């Protein structure tokens, strides 16, 4: 089992075994490795992942969920939901926000369920009108600092079907400059300028649609 938490696009791998991929990382001095699980080692890993010379982390423990839950307790947890929105012609909706290509997403409102949140955020951020929930896709984690707090955002992603609406209404108050449809076969341009967690969502979405 493996879960990734991104610290400023740097991956922290929570794993219950050392796979060949993870073993390769351990040969690099820019990788921090911890295999003892307690409150102090979780705090130490958070500190290490903030250091500029560190490029990635590996936390080995047999219970990945327990480790992940401890990270969520150590940091300020915010839940969000978003959509990998696609058309029948296998095009995906990309938005351009704060200098990066992104996918529509946002924070969960009080009393709201995750699927409703994902649909609402897609509509609010893009102006799409005819969308339909397909299925759950993946969950990503990334951290950031805001107003003196170290936040971990848990984003739940869904496949969402849409008609190919040609005119969008980018939510400018959320710093969205434009929206556009991108062919699934030509995503390199977007992948080269996006966040690491968004790249993971796009890869997961493309893989699911390719096997649909």
Confidence class of residue 177 from pLDDT cuts 50, 70 and 90?
Answer: very high
Instruction: For 19, list phi and psi in degrees, rounded to 5.
Output: -80, 165
Check whether 1 has a pLDDT greater than 90: no
Residue 189 to residue 70: CA distance in whole angstroms: 36
Residue 146, token pair as written in the block: 């805001």
Confidence class of residue 166 from pLDDT cuts 50, 70 and 90?
Answer: confident
Residue 93, token pair as written in the block: 């909706």
Residue 161 to residue 139: CA distance in whole angstroms: 19
Residue 212 to residue 210: CA distance in whole angstroms: 6
**Are the beta carbons of 56 and 8 closer than 8 angstroms?**
no
Q: What's the confidence (pLDDT) of residue 171?
A: 95
User: What is the pTM for the complete model shown?
Assistant: 0.94
Give the pLDDT mean for 7-11. 95
**Are the beta carbons of 175 and 102 closer than 8 angstroms?**
no
Confidence class of residue 211 from pLDDT cuts 50, 70 and 90?
Answer: confident
Dihedral sign computed on CA atoms, order 76, 81, 82, 83: positive
**Are the beta carbons of 120 and 45 closer than 8 angstroms?**
no
Give the pLDDT mean for 111-137. 96
Percent share of the chain, pLDDT over 70: 100
Q: What's the confidence (pLDDT) of residue 212?
A: 64
Q: What's the confidence (pLDDT) of residue 97?
A: 96
Q: What's the confidence (pLDDT) of residue 41?
A: 98
Residue 182 to residue 186: CA distance in whole angstroms: 7
Q: State in Å, rounded, how far the first CA of the chain is from the last one.
A: 24
Question: pLDDT digits over 152-164, tens only?
Answer: 999 999 999 999 9
Check whether 108 has a pLDDT greater than 80: yes
Set out the domains of the chain in order of their start, with CATH numbers: 2-74 (no CATH), 81-210 (3.90.79.10)
- Could you tell me which residue, 167 or 211, shows the higher pLDDT? 167
Contacts (Cβ under 8 Å, ≥6 apart) of 75: 46, 143, 150, 151, 152
Contacts (Cβ under 8 Å, ≥6 apart) of 26: 18, 33, 58
């Amino acid at each position: 089992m493996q879960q990734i938490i991104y610290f400023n696009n740097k991956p922290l791998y929570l794993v219950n075994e050392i796979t060949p991929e993870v073993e390769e990382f351990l040969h690099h001095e820019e990788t921090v490795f911890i295999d003892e699980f307690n409150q102090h080692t979780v705090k130490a890993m958070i500190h290490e992942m903030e250091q500029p010379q560190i490029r990635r982390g590996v936390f080995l423990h047999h219970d990945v969920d327990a480790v992940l839950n401890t990270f969520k307790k150590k940091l300020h947890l915010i839940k969000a939901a978003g959509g990998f929105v696609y058309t029948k012609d296998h095009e995906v909706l990309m938005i351009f926000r704060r200098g990066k290509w992104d996918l529509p997403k946002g924070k969960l409102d009080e009393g709201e369920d995750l699927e409703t949140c994902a649909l609402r955020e897609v509509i609010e951020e893009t102006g799409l009108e005819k969308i339909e929930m397909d299925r759950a896709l993946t969950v990503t984690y990334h951290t950031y600092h805001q107003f003196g707090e170290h936040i971990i955002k848990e984003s739940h992603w869904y496949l969402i079907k849409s008609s190919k609406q040609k005119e969008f209404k980018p939510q400018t108050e959320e710093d969205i400059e434009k929206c556009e449809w991108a062919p699934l076969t030509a995503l390199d341009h977007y992948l080269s300028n996006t966040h690491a967690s968004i790249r993971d969502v796009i890869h997961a979405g493309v893989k699911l649609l390719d096997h649909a």
